[in-house]
Amino acid sequence: MFNLILFGPPGSGKGTQSEKLISKYGLKHLSTGDLLRSEIAGQTPLGLEAKNFMDKGQLVPDEVVIGMISSALDANPEAAGFLFDGFPRTEAQAEALDKLLKLKKTGIHLMLALDVSEEELVSRLLKRGKTSGRSDDNNETVIRARIAEYHKKTSAVADYYKKFDKVKHVEGEGSIDEIFEALCKEVDKKSGK
């Protein structure tokens, strides 16, 4: 099994690069943002609770996303590996993920962290907001709140994995293909290809 975390602030290209990485490496894509948006679309109680937080640019409570990831891991016993996109976003989520993977006798092999400047993040998300219909993308105040939440609660997650020497930083500005190539280089190094 090869388990990868794609890490970075909102708008850094996690969703974009995940699509390319899963198709090259045959990993199962687990995006907590996508899982939450599908709960919202289905108007489930979990989705209705999550929407309140997401519309304000805040993180959804840990127990909600940890429960979702736990179910998704159980639903994919045959996976060759997982790509975690947008998860973990707090230290509590990172600790919970370690425990869940340990139960499956595996762990995280690599965290790839995309580095992108704040002004580029805001400009990408406002641009996506024009077409995505995502209520958290079309308001600059909400976008800035998401970035502030990242600095307050999420950036420390990279320090958690640094302790185990699992983090590689990749420049997240440039063409999508250039960034993909840099990410693949790190995956290949780590997986011994």
Binding site for ligand B4P (CB under 6 A): 10-16, 32-33, 36, 53-54, 59-60, 65, 86-87, 89, 93, 124-125, 128, 136, 146, 176, 179
Which residue in the shown chain puts its C-beta closest to ligand B4P?
A: 33
- Rounded distance between C-alpha atoms, residue 187 and residue 192, angstroms: 8
Q: Which is nearer to ligand B4P, 83 or 86 (CB)?
A: 86
134 is catalytic: yes
124 is catalytic: no
- Per-residue exposure over 34-45, b if at least 16 CB sit within 10 Å of its own CB, e if not: ebbbebbeeeee
**Chain centroid offset of residue 182 CA:** 18
128 is catalytic: yes
Q: How far is the CB of 159 from ligand B4P (least distance, A)?
A: 17
Which of 163, 159, 172, 141 lies closest to 9 in space, CA to CA?
172
Helix (H, G, I), strand (E, B) or coil at 83: strand
Q: Which is nearer to ligand B4P, 110 or 136 (CB)?
A: 136
Q: Which is nearer to ligand B4P, 115 or 188 (CB)?
A: 115
- Length reported for the chain: 193
Residues annotated as catalytic are 14, 89, 128, 134, 146
